[in-house]
């Protein structure tokens, strides 16, 4: 049977959609589809370590979730088939991912029109520099075009753990509180909501929220979390089609771009008063 290995960004994604749905759909289609025993994060996001790990791991083809440019570039040079899902989509491998840029642009535009000037975006370390990702570049360029400040807190450094995330949030609100925060991952939105509730901060009264990604739970929230929406089913179908092609020795380097739409929800609002900012600074732990 044809064996497909799935390389995740981090192991926790085994239980999330669409990663779990892709693995299940492939397994039900009589492929041997297994999550790799280590994630990109486990391997330090290092292409050399990933190359050694892949070389030691039996597999006919690989699916890589949220791979960086360097990592996908390495896979593109290999003789086995690769499907890149999310992350950097480039020629040489099959790929599928949503285009969040227009939805993000709409969200930033709405925040600015409502008067928000202190906008923060939480990004993973590899996207903060030295080569900024597209969402990060879009935020900085939009702020610059609107003569708004670009601060250290615009793209904060943070340790990628729950304690590191909470410490960064506490630090942000202890200094000059942001009036809006953009998250790129749903799990960070959930963790932030819990933090805000514990601190007595209300969304969007005290801070606006937008997520560049989609999670069905957003639409079960009150208010609905403003987000970028696309259909997980497209990823599952693309993975199945790719697997059928490459297992039949058909070359498949097709790149599928899904257009994501902006869902305003109810978490974007005008900024709180300067008086509130002054009273809040220093009170968050």
Provide DSSP, the chain.
--EEEEE-SSGGGGGSTTHHHHHHHHHHTT-EEEE-SS-TTTTTT-HHHHHHHHHHS--SEEEEES--HHHHHHHHTSSS-EEEESS---TTSEEEEEE-HHHHHHHHHHHHHTT---EEEE--HHHHSSS--HHHHHHHHHHHHTT----TTTS----SSHHHHHHHHHHHHHSS--SEEEESSHHHHHHHHHHHHHHT--TTTT-EEEESS--GGGGGSSSPPEEEE--HHHHHHHHHHHHHHHHTT-----EEEEEPEEE-TT---PPPPHHHHHHHTT---
Axis-axis angle for helices 19-28, 232-247 (nearest 10): 40
Nearest to 159 by CA among 167, 149, 151: 167
Please, are residues 83 and 60 in contact by the beta-carbon 8 Å criterion? Answer: no
Q: Is 189 exposed, middle or buried (0-12, 13-18, 19+ CB in 10 A)?
A: buried
Lookup result for tokens 């969402």: 135
Residues belonging to the chain: 285
* pLDDT score at 274: 60
* pLDDT score at 285: 45
* pLDDT score at 12: 87
From residue 148, alpha-carbon distances to 69, 141, 142 in Å are 30, 10, 8
* pLDDT score at 48: 96
Q: Is 122 exposed, middle or buried (0-12, 13-18, 19+ CB in 10 A)?
A: buried
Task: Assign a CATH topology to domain 101-228+264-280.
Answer: Rossmann fold (3.40.50)
Query: Along the 285 residues of the chain, how does pLDDT read in single tens digits?
Result: 899 999 999 998 888 888 999 999 999 998 999 999 999 999 999 999 999 999 999 999 999 999 988 999 999 999 999 999 988 887 889 999 988 899 999 999 999 999 999 999 999 887 787 778 889 999 999 999 999 989 989 999 999 899 999 999 999 999 889 999 999 989 999 999 999 999 999 999 999 999 998 888 898 999 999 999 988 889 999 999 999 999 999 999 999 999 899 999 999 999 997 644 545 554 544
* pLDDT score at 64: 97
For the chain, what are the domain ranges?
3-92, 101-228+264-280
Q: Do domains 3-92 and 101-228+264-280 have the same CATH topology?
A: yes
* pLDDT score at 85: 95
The CATH class of the 3-92 domain is: alpha beta
């Amino acid at each position: 049977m044809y064996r497909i290995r799935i390389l995740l960004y981090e192991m926790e994604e085994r239980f999330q959609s669409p990663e779990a749905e892709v693995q299940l759909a492939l397994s039900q289609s009589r492929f041997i589809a297994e999550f790799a025993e280590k994630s990109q994060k486990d391997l330090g996001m290092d292409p050399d370590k990933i190359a050694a790990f892949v070389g030691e791991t039996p597999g006919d083809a690989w699916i890589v979730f949220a791979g960086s440019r360097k990592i996908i570039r390495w896979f593109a040079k290999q003789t086995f088939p690769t499907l890149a899902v999310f992350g950097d989509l480039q020629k040489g491998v099959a790929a599928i991912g949503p285009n969040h840029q227009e939805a993000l642009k709409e969200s930033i535009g709405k925040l600015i029109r409502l008067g928000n000037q202190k906008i923060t975006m939480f990004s993973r370390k590899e996207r903060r520099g030295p080569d900024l990702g597209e969402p990060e570049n879009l935020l900085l360029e939009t702020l610059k075009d609107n003569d708004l400040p670009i601060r250290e807190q615009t793209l904060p450094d943070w340790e990628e753990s729950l304690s590191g995330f909470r410490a960064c949030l506490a630090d942000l609100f202890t200094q000059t509180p942001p009036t809006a925060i953009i998250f790129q991952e749903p799990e960070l939105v959930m963790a932030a909501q819990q933090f805000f509730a514990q601190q007595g901060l209300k969304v969007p009264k005290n801070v606006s929220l937008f997520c560049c990604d989609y999670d069905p739970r957003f639409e079960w929230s009150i208010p609905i979390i403003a987000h970028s929406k696309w259909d997980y089913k497209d990823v599952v179908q693309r993975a199945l089609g790719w697997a059928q092609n490459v297992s039949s020795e058909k070359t498949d380097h097709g790149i599928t771009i899904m257009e994501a739409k902006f869902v305003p929800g109810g978490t974007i609002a005008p900024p709180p008063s300067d008086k509130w900012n002054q009273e809040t600074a220093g009170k968050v732990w």
